[in-house]
Amino acid sequence: MNPKRSSNGFLIIILLLAIGIYYFSSTLHTGSSDYSYQTFLNDVKNEKVQSITIEQNKEVPTGSLTAEYKGDEYKTCQLTDVNQALDDIEEASPDLAAKVNLKGIDRSGEMISNLLSVVLPVGIVIFFMVMMMRQNGGGNGKMMDFGKSRAKLANPNGRKVTFQDVAGLDEEKEELAEVVEFLKNPAKFIKIGARIPKGVLLVGPPGTGKTLLAKAVAGEANVPFFSISGSDFVEMFVGVGAARVRDLFAEAKKNAPCIVFIDEIDAVARRRGSGLGGGHDEREQTLNQMLVEMDGFGVNEGIIMIAATNRVDILDPAILRPGRFDRKVGVGRPDIKGREEILKVHCREKPLGDDVDLHEIARTTAGFVGADLENLMNEAAIQAARENRAYIVKEDIDKAFIKVGIGTEKKSRIVPDSEKKITAYHESGHALLFHLLPDVGPVYTVSIIPTGTGAAGYTMPLPENDNVFMTKGKMLQNIMVSLGGRIAEELIFDDVTTGASQDIKQVTQYARAMVTKYGMSDELGLISYDSGESDEVFLGKEIGQQRPYGEDTQAVIDKEVKRIVNQCYKDAKAMIEEHMDILHKCAQRLLEKERIDRTEFESLFE
């Protein structure tokens, strides 16, 4: 619904209500009675009236007549000629005429009534109009607020985040500690002629702690901290974003030295001229203003910009040059040592049982970032509270890990025995290869309990350490492990199911990346045939970009991908056939218990 049309309709209703009140008050004032002057004369002749009071106007001989009846009943009628009325009463009843009380009309009540009939409707209209303007943000006042910055100033009396609250990011904290030192003691750097970086860009995947690092810098430096999101600058009205940038830096200058933190800066600092059609839009005006404010003709001393993004590849090059964002700090995924430190931070206020080993949890959670680990321990605490325990045990963390990483187990789901048997052999095939291949194991948990993601079961490995890069051998072993479930189905049931669709998709991605990205094909050599991302046109790339190879090369790539997958399939199948007895044992154990851990699985090989 159109807000303007809705407001107009509401105003019309208010005006009609005011008119109704005015009409009602006017009717109430003039009166509407069936008592007439002729009825009064008849009652006087019949001796029903006891006394008469006439109120006469001063200017003309008109007025009103009030007759008192038996039982203290009073009736009123209007007189057009008071003198004629007096003669009529004298003729009808001389005794009653001698008792007529004649006086002037009191105008005070009439004036108050008339005043109320006008003031009341006008007051109601004004009241509702004020309420509507307040509801809409003050009308023109709100329009003036469009250009105001939406940056929030952190409460100086609130809880401060320091570097002690940030774990697993030692090198990143060292780089930002220089910023803190400058804000505390700028003369130390100015004396030697050093220039502190004007801006620090925090780059990394979501959840790695970029915003937390910025808060820690503000807490350590004990200076005003302004925070704003990149999307807060962008509006549908032209010029609003640039006005907000100017207002932001004006506020920062008043509170210098200070820190201005822009979260998700890629929303406003995207590469100019990118996308379909390019052009000069509102976002580019906002970016231009930000570039000028950070390093233009103006001087912004004592203002340090910190920004965070996980899409540094789409930022405009002008904002990344020295003098604007001088430093680019990579905030990556933590290693096993960092994950253990992060877990210790999130377990400060959580009582843990004796069987909880944070080092083992850190090993199990390879690839987790700080936000994932916090969510894991929170889910474990919720699980412990649900079980009415006062502390967290290993079982709570295991259940939380499955819930966070794979999905909630659907133990109540009814699965036919035939499908349960197929799932048992499928997962046993994965687990067997995880154990036998040297670079991908060992097995942590095997389960045939359905999960909330739609999987009929899962096999979870336990990496010994974090790998910085992947070797060709490990990628081939990952392909073999992914094919283990389909191979087990073929060998046991002489048939296949759709349950391996995700495995096949993953196998194809691994093999194609080996050929096109990493130069691991003897046939094609050390040449990259990667065609890039599918959304290049929205990242400032050419709309008509073609793949950097011809049809003949495409045929060779497809042939190499198929060769790699077929060879891995052949090797994996031979390995499972050699250990067929273990495959049967594992499947039987899964059908009995539905879930087995590492100790139970490895006992099958003894």
Instruction: Give the 3-state secondary structure of residue 30.
Output: helix
DSSP labels, 333-399: ---HHHHHHHHHHHTTTS-B-TT--HHHHHHHTTT--HHHHHHHHHHHHHHHHHTT-SSB-HHHHHH
* Residue 589 clears pLDDT 90, i.e. is over it: yes
Q: Going from the N-terminus, what domains does the chain have, and what CATH number goes with each?
A: 3-110 (3.30.720.210), 152-330 (3.40.50.300), 338-405 (1.10.8.60), 417-603 (1.20.58.760)
Q: What is the average pLDDT value for the chain, to the nearest integer?
A: 80
* Rg for the chain, CA atoms, rounded: 43
Q: How confident is the model at residue 535 (pLDDT cuts 50, 70, 90)?
A: very low
Mean pLDDT of all residues in 461-483? 85
- Is residue 209 annotated as involved in ligand binding? yes
Most confident of the following: 6-20, 94-108, 490-504:
490-504
**More confident site: 246 or 233:** 246
Most confident of the following: 186-190, 336-340, 575-579:
575-579
Query: Which of 340, 427, 489, 560 is labelled catalytic?
Result: 427
* Residue 75 clears pLDDT 80, i.e. is over it: yes
- Is residue 211 annotated as involved in ligand binding? yes
Q: Give dist(CA 394, CA 356) in Å, integer.
A: 5
Mean pLDDT of all residues in 577-606? 90
Asked whether 392 and 380 are in contact (CB, 8 A), the reply is: yes
In this structure, which amino acid lies at residue 272? Answer: R
Instruction: Let me know if 68 is a catalytic residue.
Output: no
- Is residue 426 annotated as involved in ligand binding? yes
> Residue 171 has what pLDDT?
85
- Is residue 224 annotated as involved in ligand binding? no
Instruction: Give the 3-state secondary structure of residue 450.
Output: coil
Q: Give dist(CA 368, CA 354) in Å, integer.
A: 24
* Residue 429 clears pLDDT 90, i.e. is over it: yes
**More confident site: 573 or 120:** 573
User: Whole-model pTM above 0.85?
Assistant: no
For residue 192, with 0-12 CB atoms within 10 Å meaning exposed, 13-18 middle and 19 or more buried, which class applies? Answer: exposed
For residue 121, with 0-12 CB atoms within 10 Å meaning exposed, 13-18 middle and 19 or more buried, which class applies? Answer: buried
- Is residue 208 annotated as involved in ligand binding? yes
Q: Model confidence over 169-204: pLDDT tens digits?
A: 888 888 888 888 887 787 888 888 887 778 899 998
* Residue 106 clears pLDDT 60, i.e. is over it: no
